[in-house]
């Protein structure tokens, strides 16, 4: 230690008083404030996007839950019925009755609006067919007044919800400005009004040309059966795999390989799992296309890594003293795990599983590849088995199908579908949080 | 016998085995369970296990092997000249299967008796019509050869399934006999059962490996199939992507790869600065209450399904961009779907991904580093920029690579937001398309599954898998190395 | 406490570098430092001793406001350096810490090169006009840290690659590079082996020529070896403060006596 002697006594330069910050310090503090501001701005941008996203979902999606209907009292005599049924153009005959009923209903209320038959077509769409179907099914209702709620055409619906304006209609052959005058009058006298759209919540996909009749109900069922498959497979397999890896696995190459594999699988793009499902489950194993069973299998494989990772964390959180205590009274390793460690880790495992399920519920891309696209959701399954094997869609795939259609009226349905999907996700996450709060132990 | 009945029978035998095994063990100990090596239930479980495991394994293997054996046998008996030129044995066999299905359906509906189904001849009956009536649509009329092969196919399958039922039942009975013989007091039933459970656990853990193997094999086989009918050089070197379903498609990957990378680049340009600054603010500046609100708020963004982002891109962000950059604004953008639309929204999706990973990594930089820097009179930002970030750099790079792999593999946002046109362009306001979007469109289209237009999806999938796997392995390696450094 | 009068007799007021009066520190609801008064002299090594958790490190960290980085920590009372109240609103802790350097318990070199470790302080405080200037500052600091000869050929090697003792001397060099007037050392030898401890202690003795050094130590022998003044803390109170020799040979307070004779600790 001789080298300090070389420079002799140090001469610390006396600085200004601490009370007066020097120019450099001011500059550095300004840089500090700027840096902090960047951080705040970053957070605000993130929150801003979240707010914009939430706002556009609610603004665009809530109208899907209401529907514009024409409420009309209507009496069909048996004579008229037989007459209409004998004609060649049956629905056209019904439409004539409808026009008459319109005129009567309006004049009862003391309003005179000039309109022709084609305007009725444009305003309430295929109403003639609806009437015919109803009376053919309920012949006993003939001769009695029946109140119909006829769904307005999607453009009239759009006009009520602000999606369609008069300017938009300048050269539309589906609806014109004069029709809107009629619509306004109908709304004024209370024949046309908005009501909750049960069809949307409980209905099925009604095809490309019927946005008004489209509903998400069937695909909710499809999603439900898929989640059932995922739950029944991913939970036991995930827990078994985690128990092995966490409690029994010797440290060797095979377990190393499994570990690396799991962390990599967790990051494989979801669409690759779709390819796997298509090639293995449908082409090789010959399982039916578009079936929730296959969708569930694909999503199981996709969710497994997530569930394994969270389950292992929960198992790890159980202190070793519990294991030693069980082994100390002569339990076998297997008994100590199944009797003590697993029950204690269960809340954490369930929480992780629910979060994994929520992730699977929102997954779209792999479902498209195995054929669970929206337009196959035409029927409700008629039993448990057909729920698993009949062609169906799932919520996110249904939303995709609507979003990809040309008719803009479907966009509203897609946004509405997102609200339904997010309500399910929210419920699952809340459940996970409650589980965690109530049962999770801190050691 | 239907499959479910076989399984139920096996389960019933297993249940009986459980009861009998438990009883026999107790009996051998003179009714005193304390004299047994293991608890009585372990003896029962042992027997049940010996019933279920071998018989269900045989069942599974049989189900996998039988179709292969049967088709081989049928193919071997088909005369060479049946397969028309321009067709293949595979196509012939799929016809055979359809006809066989049709005969099954007809028998099930009672329109054909079982005997008729075996004897029926195209020469005497309009088989095609009968099958169509049974609800199975046939593409072309049934030829005598097809019908004969289908009948043979049905016969062999029938023999096979009867044999299977018998073998499985024998295995189950053998299992129960063997298990019961073991069930005596000195037998270490618990150890055997636990050994079995252990194998079950290992099997569950190996599913991860099987999944990977499944992915790799299904990609490789179909990719090879694709390269057999479409030159690999064209796929990797051609600069045009123009599938035409009539054939003569040009399927070069470069426009798709470019679209994928361009969109990912924009997404990272949005997500990395915002995510990183958010992470820095949350871990170094934010007070507890701010952190308690802002962190979960950002993480909500990660929990939202990608289809929601896709719709957001298509219907909210795209139109807003159109107002500014479209023909009414600057005039750079022609449609609402574009690289910018998809990239921007994907960037939003990736913010929480970058921020929470970076947050973890910044937090794992030891406090001693911060103290050392503050002790020298550094400000917070100087400490962060010059000490913490360099120390956390490997980890952050790993996080960014993981985010990049996410971006490259993301599907729904680009399917809805990026457009469908494959082009090589530098203008970020033009519509482009990506590997993932084309996988979806090629496999959900109407093209024949064996055409290059459909098979190309597997080659694209392979490319995607290799790229993301490489990024993931590299990123996880970096992150792991980094964690070790501070542990 | 009547020994406070004694301190005022012993200390020449002109030499006082740091004066603390009525200092209280709270961690959340815990009262960690209770009403501590102390005067620390220039060009002297002052040792803070006491059992674990007695508050000596906490008090040390008040002297350069390192406690500001802990959210729940609250400091009241009056601490002055050269007569300036360091908790005054106008004082920038950044400037203060440049003047009052600190060395920590565990050697904590940054994951940078040896050169960059030492140059870090001078760079952020803008002390060098050019590269040559910086080189000179770094060399001077490393010499003063008694580590120059060992590292002069590998200034670009990472600081984390050095041995524990070398790392700690590097950290001391890093601290003196900003030319502080006071050097705070928080158990600087607790993570070092005896040989490295010896080297660091020797260095501390030399640093006394230029700085006022305050050292927190767990080891009474170390306090006796390196310090001229010693303060004994117990349960957040400053029990006794005086000449080191006197504290160890003739303690006034029974608690001090119990501690140095090994009854509490």
Q: What would the pLDDT profile of A280-305 be if each residue is shown by its tens digit?
A: 888 887 788 888 999 999 999 999 99
Tell me, what's the pLDDT at B82?
65
Question: A32 CA to chain C: closest CA distance, Å?
Answer: 11
pLDDT at residue A375 tops 70: yes
With residues binned 3-state (H G I as helix, E B as strand, rest as coil), the percentages for chain C, rounded to 5, are 40, 25, 35
CB proximity list for B389: less than 8 A, separation 6 or greater: B396
Is there a contact between C106 and B368 if contact means CB atoms under 8 Å apart?
yes
Chains adjacent to A (≥3 CB pairs closer than 8 angstroms): B, C
**How open is the CA angle A68-A73-A75, to the nearest 5 degrees?**
140
Chain A residues within 8 A of B272 when measuring between CB atoms? none
Task: State how far the Cα of B62 lies from the Cα of B168, in Å rounded to an integer.
Answer: 9
Q: Which residues of chain B have pLDDT under 50?
A: none
B193, part of any domain: no
CB-CB: which of A6, A17, A28 is closest to C94? A28
What is the distance between the alpha carbons of residues A433 and C192, in angstroms, rounded to a whole number? Answer: 47
Count residue pairs from A and B with Cβ separation < 8 A: 266
Q: Are strands C84-85 and C73-81 parallel, antiparallel or unpaired?
A: antiparallel
- Contact list, A418 vs chain B (CB under 8 Å): 307-308, 311
Q: Is C104 on the interface with B (CB under 8 A)?
A: yes
pLDDT confidence tier of residue A86, bands split at 50, 70 and 90: confident
* CA dist., res. C62 & res. C238, Å (int): 14
- Mean pLDDT of the A24-37 span: 91
Kindly report the CATH number assigned to the domain that includes residue B277: 1.10.3720.10
Cβ neighbour number for residue B133 with a 10 Å cutoff: 14
Residue A1 has pLDDT above 60, yes or no: no
Which residue out of A28, A272, A403, A407 would a mutagenesis test of the B interface target, given it has the greatest number of B Cβ atoms within 10 Å? A272
Beta strand spans in A93-245 (E): 145-151, 192-196
Q: Which of A1, A7, A20 sits opposite C140 (nearest CB)?
A: A7
Q: Do B162 and B92 lie in a common domain?
A: yes
Contact C230, C248 (CB under 8 A): yes
With CA atoms as reference, the chain A residue closest to B312 would be: A53
For chain A, which residues make up each domain, given as ranges?
66-196, 217-439
A248 touches B: beta carbon within 8 Å: yes
User: Are A268 and B306 inside 8 Å of each other by CB?
Assistant: no
Q: Structure tokens of A20?
A: 């007066």
> Is there a domain that residue B232 lies in?
no
Is residue A345 a contact partner of residue A423, using CB atoms and an 8 Å limit?
A: no
| B436:A415 CB<8 A | no
For B372, other C-beta atoms within 10 Å of its C-beta total 26
Please tell me what DSSP assigns to residue A109.
T
**Averaged pLDDT for residues A15-44:** 86
Beta strand pairing status for C182-186 and C16-27? unpaired
**Alpha-carbon C12 to chain mean position:** 21
Map tokens 């840089």 to a residue.
A31
CB contact under 8 A, A243 and B201: yes
Would you place residue A7 in the very low, low, confident or very high pLDDT band (cuts 50, 70, 90)? very low
Could you give the count of Cα atoms lying within 13 Å of A20 in the half-sphere of its Cβ?
A: 5
C174 contacts B376? CB cut-off 8 A? yes
∠ CA B230-B231-B236, rounded to 5°: 110
Nearest to A426 by CA among A366, A370, A358: A358
H helix and E strand count, chain A = 19, 3
Contacts of B280 in chain A (CB under 8 A): 39
Burial A192-206 (b: 16+ CB within 10 A, else e): bbeeebebbeebbbb
Confidence of residue A4 (pLDDT cuts 50, 70, 90): very low
Tell me the pTM.
0.84
Range of the domain at B265: 241-482
pLDDT at res. B224: 92
For residue B315, count other CB atoms closer than 10 A to its CB.
20
The CA distance from B414 to B396, in Å, is 26
Cβ atoms of A124 and A150 within 8 Å: the answer is yes
Nearest-5° Cα angle at A379, A376 to A382: 130
Decide if B15 contacts B22 (C-beta within 8 A): no
One digit per residue, the tens of pLDDT, for chain C of length 265 reads: 444 444 444 444 457 889 999 999 998 888 999 999 999 998 899 999 988 888 888 999 999 898 888 878 889 999 999 888 999 888 888 888 988 999 998 888 988 899 999 999 999 888 888 999 999 999 999 998 889 999 999 999 988 889 888 999 999 999 999 889 999 999 898 888 888 888 889 889 888 888 899 999 988 889 999 999 999 999 889 999 999 999 988 898 999 888 888 876 5
Other CB atoms within 10 A of residue A64 CB: 28
Instruction: Pick A44 or B423 by higher pLDDT.
Output: A44
Distance from CA of B213 to the nearest CA of C (A): 41
DSSP structural state of residue A88: S
Partners of residue B215 in chain A, C-beta under 8 Å: 268, 272-273, 275-276
Sort out which chain C residues have CB atoms less than 8 A from B287's CB and list them. 71
B70 closest CA partner among B130, B167, B159: B159
ipTM of the shown complex: 0.86
Q: Spell out which chain C residues touch chain A, with contact meaning CB-CB distance below 8 angstroms.
A: 81-82, 84, 86, 88, 90-92, 94-96, 98-99, 124-126, 140, 143-144, 146, 148-149, 179-181, 199, 202-203, 206, 209-211
Residues of chain A that touch chain C, judged by Cβ-Cβ distance less than 8 Å = 1, 3-4, 6-7, 9-10, 12-13, 15, 17-22, 24-25, 28-29
Closest-CA distance, C48 to chain B, in angstroms, reads: 19
Residue B440 CA, chain-centre distance (Å), reads 14
Contacts of B410 in chain A (CB under 8 A): 269
pLDDT of res. C5? 41
List residues bridging with A196 in a β-sheet.
Answer: A66
- Put simply, the answer to whether C143 touches A4 (Cβ < 8 Å) is yes
SS3 C107: coil
CA angle A151, A155, A157 (to 5 degrees): 50
Q: Which residue has the tokens 């992730």?
A: A359
Closest residue to B205, CB basis, from A56, A258, A418: A258
For the record, the structure tokens of B67 come out as 């179709």
Q: How far apart are CA B348 and CA A45, in angstroms?
A: 9
CATH for C2-260 is 3.40.50.300
User: Could you count the other beta carbons within 10 Å of the beta carbon of residue A356?
Assistant: 29
Q: Is C108 on the interface with B (CB under 8 A)?
A: yes
Burial class (CB in 10 A: 0-12, 13-18, 19+), B426: exposed
Touching B: which chains, 3+ CB pairs < 8 A? A, C
Q: What is the pLDDT of residue A170?
A: 67
Rounded CA-CA distance A297/B393 in Å is 39
Angle between helices B389-409 and B339-363 (to 10 degrees): 140
pLDDT score for A66? 87
Query: Distance from CA of residue B143 to its chain's centroid?
Result: 39
Nearest to A265 among B191, B212, B280 (CB): B212
B409–A362 C-beta distance less than 8 A: no
Q: How many CB atoms lie within 10 A of CB B184?
A: 16
Spell out the residues 6+ positions from residue A179 whose beta carbon is closer than 8 angstroms to its own.
A115, A119, A122, A123, A156
Distance from chain centroid for Cα B166: 35
Interface mutation vs chain A, best among C68, C88, C95, most A CBs within 10 Å: C95
Query: What is the arithmetic mean of pLDDT over A216-242?
Result: 93
A-chain residues near B444 (CB < 8 A): 368-369, 371, 373
Does the structure show a pLDDT above 90 at A71? no
Sign of CA dihedral B79, B85, B88, B92: negative
Closest Cα of chain B to A129: distance in Å? 29
Please indicate whether, in this complex, the C-beta atoms of B374 and C108 are within 8 angstroms of each other. no
Nearest CA-CA partner of B259 in B424, B394, B117: B424
Rounded to whole angstroms, the Cα distance separating B3 from B10 reads: 11
Task: Write down the residue that tokens 């080891």 correspond to.
Answer: C219
Number of H helices, E strands in chain C: 11, 10
Distance separating alpha carbons of residues B142 and B149, to the nearest angstrom: 11
* Domain A217-439: CATH architecture, name and number where available: Orthogonal Bundle (1.10)
How many CB atoms neighbour CB C53 within 10 A? 12
Question: So where are chain C's domains?
Answer: 2-260
Residue A346: count other Cβ atoms within 10 Å of its Cβ: 15
Who's near B267: CB < 8 A, 6+ residues apart?
Answer: B342, B343, B344, B346, B347, B349, B350, B407
- Tell me how crowded residue A332 is: count the other CB atoms within 10 A of its CB: 15
Asked whether the beta carbons of residue B465 and residue A272 sit closer than 8 angstroms, the reply is: yes
Q: Subunits that touch chain C (at least 3 Cβ pairs < 8 angstroms)?
A: A, B
Task: Say what the alpha-carbon torsion angle A391, A397, A399, A404 is, to the nearest 10 degrees.
Answer: -100
Distance separating alpha carbons of residues A133 and A220, to the nearest angstrom: 27
Nearest to B469 by CA among A363, A275, A261: A261
Whether B292 has its CB under 8 Å from any CB of chain C: the answer is no
pLDDT at A171 over 70: no
């Amino acid at each position: 230690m001789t080298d300090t002697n070389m420079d002799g006594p140090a001469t610390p330069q006396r600085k200004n008083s601490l009370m007066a910050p020097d120019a450099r310090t001011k500059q550095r503090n300004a840089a500090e404030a700027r840096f902090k501001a960047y951080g705040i701005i970053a957070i605000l941008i993130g929150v801003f996007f979240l707010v914009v996203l939430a706002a556009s979902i609610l603004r665009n999606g809530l109208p899907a839950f209401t529907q514009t209907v024409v409420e009309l009292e209507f009496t069909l005599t048996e004579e008229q019925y037989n007459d209409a049924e004998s004609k060649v153009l049956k629905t056209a005959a019904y439409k004539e009755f409808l026009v008459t009923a319109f005129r009567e209903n309006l004049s009862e209320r003391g309003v005179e609006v000039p309109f022709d038959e084609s305007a009725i077509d444009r305003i309430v769409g295929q109403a003639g067919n609806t009437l015919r179907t109803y009376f053919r099914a309920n012949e006993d209702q003939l001769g009695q007044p029946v109140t119909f709620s006829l769904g307005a055409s999607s453009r009239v619906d759009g006009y009520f919800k602000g999606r369609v304006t008069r300017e938009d209609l300048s050269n539309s052959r589906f609806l014109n400005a004069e029709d809107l005058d009629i619509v306004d009058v109908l709304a004024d006298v209370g024949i046309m009004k908005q009501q909750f759209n049960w069809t949307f919540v409980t209905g099925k996909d009604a095809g490309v040309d019927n946005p008004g009749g489209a509903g998400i109900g069937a695909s909710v069922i499809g999603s439900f059966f898929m989640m059932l498959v995922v739950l029944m497979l991913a939970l036991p397999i995930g827990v078994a795999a985690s128990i092995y890896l966490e409690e029994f696995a010797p440290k060797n190459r095979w377990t190393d390989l499994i570990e690396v594999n799991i962390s990599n699988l967790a990051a494989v793009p979801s669409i690759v799992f779709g390819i796997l499902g298509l090639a293995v489950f449908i082409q090789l194993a010959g399982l039916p296309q578009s079936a929730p069973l296959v969708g569930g299998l694909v999503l199981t494989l996709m969710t497994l890594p997530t569930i394994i990772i969270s389950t292992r964390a929960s198992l790890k959180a159980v202190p070793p003293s519990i294991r030693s205590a069980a082994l100390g009274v002569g339990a076998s390793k297997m008994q100590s795990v199944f009797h003590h460690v697993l029950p204690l880790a269960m809340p954490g495992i369930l929480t992780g599983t629910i979060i994994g399920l929520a992730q699977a519920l929102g997954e779209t891309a792999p479902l498209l590849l195995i054929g669970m696209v929206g337009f196959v959701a035409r029927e409700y399954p008629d039993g448990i088995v057909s729920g698993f094997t009949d062609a169906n869609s799932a919520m996110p795939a249904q939303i995709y199908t609507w979003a990809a259609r040309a008719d803009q009226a479907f966009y509203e349905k897609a946004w509405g579908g997102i609200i339904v999907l997010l309500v399910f996700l929210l419920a699952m996450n809340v459940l996970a949080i409650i589980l965690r709060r109530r049962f999770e132990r801190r050691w | 016998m239907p499959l479910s009945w076989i399984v139920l029978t096996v389960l019933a035998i297993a249940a009986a085995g459980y009861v009998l095994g438990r009883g026999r063990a107790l009996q051998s100990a003179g009714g005193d369970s304390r004299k047994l090596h293991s608890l009585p239930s372990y003896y029962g479980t042992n027997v049940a296990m010996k019933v279920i495991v071998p018989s269900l394994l045989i069942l599974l293997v049989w189900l996998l092997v039988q179709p292969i054996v049967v088709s081989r046998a049928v193919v071997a008996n088909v005369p060479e000249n049946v397969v028309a030129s321009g067709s293949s044995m595979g196509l012939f066999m799929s016809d055979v299967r359809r006809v066989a299905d049709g005969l099954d359906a007809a028998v099930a509906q009672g329109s054909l008796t079982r005997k008729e189904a075996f004897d029926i001849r195209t020469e005497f009956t309009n088989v095609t019509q009968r099958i169509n009536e049974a609800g199975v649509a046939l593409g072309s009329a049934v030829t005598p050869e097809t019908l004969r092969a289908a009948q043979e196919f049905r016969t062999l399958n029938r023999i096979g399934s009867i044999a299977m039922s018998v073998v499985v039942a024998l295995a189950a009975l053998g299992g129960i006999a063997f298990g019961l013989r073991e069930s005596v007091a000195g037998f270490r039933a618990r150890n055997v059962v636990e050994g079995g459970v252990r194998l079950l656990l290992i099997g569950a853990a190996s599913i991860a490996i099987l999944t990977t193997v499944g992915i790799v094999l299904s990609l490789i086989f179909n990719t090879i199939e694709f390269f057999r009918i479409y030159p690999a050089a064209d796929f990797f070197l051609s600069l045009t992507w123009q599938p035409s379903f009539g054939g003569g498609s040009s399927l070069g990957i470069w426009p798709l790869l470019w679209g994928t990378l361009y969109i990912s680049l924009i997404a990272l340009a949005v997500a990395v600065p915002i995510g990183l600054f958010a992470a820095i603010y949350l871990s170094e500046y934010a007070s507890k209450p701010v952190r308690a609100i802002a962190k979960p708020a950002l993480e909500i963004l990660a929990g939202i399904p990608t289809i929601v982002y896709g719709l957001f891109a298509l219907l909210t962000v795209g139109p807003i961009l159109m107002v500014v950059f479209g023909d009414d604004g600057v005039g750079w953008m022609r449609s609402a779907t574009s690289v910018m639309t998809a990239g921007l929204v994907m960037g939003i999706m990736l913010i929480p991904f970058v921020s929470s990973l970076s947050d973890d990594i910044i937090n794992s930089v030891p406090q001693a580093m911060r103290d050392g820097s503050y002790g020298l009179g550094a400000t917070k930002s100087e400490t962060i920029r010059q000490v913490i970030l360099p120390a956390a750099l490997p980890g952050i790079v790993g996080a960014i690579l993981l985010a990049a792999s996410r971006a490259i593999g993301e599907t729904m946002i680009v399917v809805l937001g990026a457009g469908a046109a494959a082009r090589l362009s530098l203008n970020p306001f033009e519509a482009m398309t990506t590997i993932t979007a084309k996988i979806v469109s090629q496999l959900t289209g109407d093209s024949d599954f064996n055409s290059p237009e459909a098979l190309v999806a597997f080659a694209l999938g392979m490319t995607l898998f290799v790229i993301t796997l490489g990024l993931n392995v590299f990123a996880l390696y970096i992150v792991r190395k980094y964690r070790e450094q501070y542990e | 406490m009547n020994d406070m009068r004694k301190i005022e007799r012993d200390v020449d007021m002109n030499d006082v570098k740091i004066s603390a009066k009525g200092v209280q520190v709270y961690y959340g609801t815990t009262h960690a430092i209770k009403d501590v008064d102390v005067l620390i002299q220039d060009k002297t090594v002052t040792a803070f001793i006491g059992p674990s958790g007695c508050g000596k490190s906490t008090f040390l960290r008040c002297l350069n406001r390192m406690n500001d980085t802990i959210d729940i920590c609250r400091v009241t009372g009056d601490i002055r350096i050269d007569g300036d109240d360091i908790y005054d609103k106008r004082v920038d802790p950044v400037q203060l810490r440049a003047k009052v350097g600190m060395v920590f318990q565990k050697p904590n070199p940054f994951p940078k090169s040896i050169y960059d470790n030492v140059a870090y302080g001078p760079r952020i405080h803008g002390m060098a006009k050019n590269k040559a200037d910086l080189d000179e500052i770094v060399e001077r600091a490393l010499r003063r840290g008694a580590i120059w000869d060992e590292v002069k050929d590998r200034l670009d090697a990472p600081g984390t690659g050095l041995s524990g003792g070398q790392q700690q001397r590097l950290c001391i060099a890093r601290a003196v590079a900003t030319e502080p007037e006071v050097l705070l050392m928080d158990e600087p030898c607790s993570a070092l082996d005896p040989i490295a401890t010896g080297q660091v202690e020797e260095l501390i003795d030399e640093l006394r020529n230029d700085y006022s050094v305050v050292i927190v130590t767990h080891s009474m022998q170390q306090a006796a070896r390196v310090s001229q003044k010693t303060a004994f803390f117990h349960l957040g109170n400053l029990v006794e403060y005086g000449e080191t020799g006197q504290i160890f040979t003739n303690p006034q307070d029974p608690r001090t006596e119990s501690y140095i004779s090994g009854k509490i600790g």
